[in-house]
Amino acid sequence: MFKEYQDYKKKLSYYHRMINLMSWDLRAKAPENSRENKYEAIEFFGNEIFKLETDPKFGELLYKLNDSSDDLNDAQKLSIKRDLKGYERFINVPGTFEAQYNTMQAKCEATWARAKAENDYASFAPALAKNIEMTKERMGYIFPGKDTYDALLDLWDYGLKTEDLDRIFKGVKDGIAPFIDDIKGKEVKKTKCDELTASPETMEKVQNFLLDYIGFDFKRGTTGDSPHALSSVIDPHDVRITNRLYGRHPLEVCLSAIHEGGHALYQQNVDPSYIGLAPNDLIYSDIHESMSRFMENTLARNVEFWLPVYDDLCNIWPEFKGVEPDDLNRFLNRWACSEVRTEADEMTYCMHIILRYEIELMMFRGNVSVNELSDIFSDKMKQYLGVTPKDQAHGILQDMHWSSVFYGYFPSYLLGSIYDGMYLEKMTDDLGDVKKLLLNKEMPKINNWLNKNIRSHGSLYDAPTLIKNLTGKEVSSDAMIRYFASKRGMQI
């Protein structure tokens, strides 16, 4: 009977693969005139997936397996449990609505990309309004009678509720308030690194070198260019990264590549015995973000990460020659209140996430019109960070998440940083000074620790369970605040 289930899931995976491929293509390489056909194809395959996943025969098979699961291993039991949970959630969603929802998402992404390029929120607002309304309707089908935002958090399976996030994020706001007061309104101290330049062609080479250095397997992955950096899983042996190689500081391009590489490394290092089973589906976005942010911030913001590969980088990137370690260290670790989330330092980044979380609560719990959101966004930026976005492209339009119906996802970034503080303290206990490991070019040792303790498990455990198993502690921002405090002296 489990073989019948596996065959059914394999068929589903083929449909998912087609959608994943077309979605990546739309974000990275698709010709403009090919888009409408791809939207139609995505709607078709999405509808087929939905019919298969909500077919009563599939539900009957799941109930039978769930009732006689004694002979199944833990990963197999989890697979049945998750699919049954999904079946019971989505059985009430009309198939035609789900197909339209998938198409709306793809079109909304394209509308956002044009609006951002043209600095025109007004052209995006109607699509966003439809997006929000359809998301509310969808949540009503999946979680009848439940608060919409709590329902959205449930879809991301954090193992945490809104009240948990409120408590944890309050601890973050209180903990970093003195650090933000240190820098709010102060001029950013420039370094020679600010003057670095590089062509997109050079940055592609640098990006690929850094990805290889941190362990990305190019035999099971590739890269592309897009307005917004992201990683996409086509299938277990095809993990793709896109990055914006132009129009921003080259070191920001590097950090973005390392961030997305962290996502990809998580997928590439799941225990291969889980392929085709639930743990290989990395549904816990907070753990996913902890893996990307650990690589980007906990590791790559140390000058010790860069020194062992300095000569290699200079050979690829001539402009990098002459960069002094002290300048690089200050550039990577300086704090400054800035307008763009993806270019923010790791400390002020926390407030970028909290303000977006608060706006999402307003979207789904308040009576806020989409026409007000741009001003609300700018007002919160001024309130929390003392800066006002210079235009809408650098304000409300800077992120693709809402166009992609990734509501409830923003908290995962901050949760990831919180977990990273706890990982770092545990890794230091187990392996010693991480900066020394980096200086000695021991990335494989670091990756082995991450693989053993986190990546290999895939999504076998949610974050609170994973953290408890690894550290013996409950989720807390204390370790992250200690990490930031250790860097406070660099801001002088």
Which residues carry out catalysis? Answer: 260
* Pair 307, 439: CB distance under 8 Å: yes
Q: What is the dihedral of CA 101, 103, 104, 106, to 10 degrees?
A: 130
**Which tokens in the block code for residue 391?**
């235009």
End-to-end CA distance of the chain: 65
Q: Are strands 238-243 and 221-225 parallel, antiparallel or unpaired?
A: parallel
User: What is the C-alpha to C-alpha distance for residues 320 and 482, in angstroms, rounded to an integer?
Assistant: 32
Please provide the size of the chain in residues. 492
User: What is the C-alpha to C-alpha distance for residues 391 and 380, in angstroms, rounded to an integer?
Assistant: 15
Sign of the dihedral defined by the CA atoms of residues 262, 268, 274, 276, in that order: positive
**Which tokens in the block code for residue 188?**
């950013």
User: What is the C-alpha to C-alpha distance for residues 298 and 158, in angstroms, rounded to an integer?
Assistant: 22
Q: What separation in angstroms does the CA of 168 have from each of 165, 354, 480, 490? A: 5, 11, 12, 26
Beta bridge partner(s), residue 225: 243
Q: What separation in angstroms does the CA of 109 have from each of 10, 213, 481? A: 29, 32, 35
User: What is the C-alpha to C-alpha distance for residues 256 and 488, in angstroms, rounded to an integer?
Assistant: 23
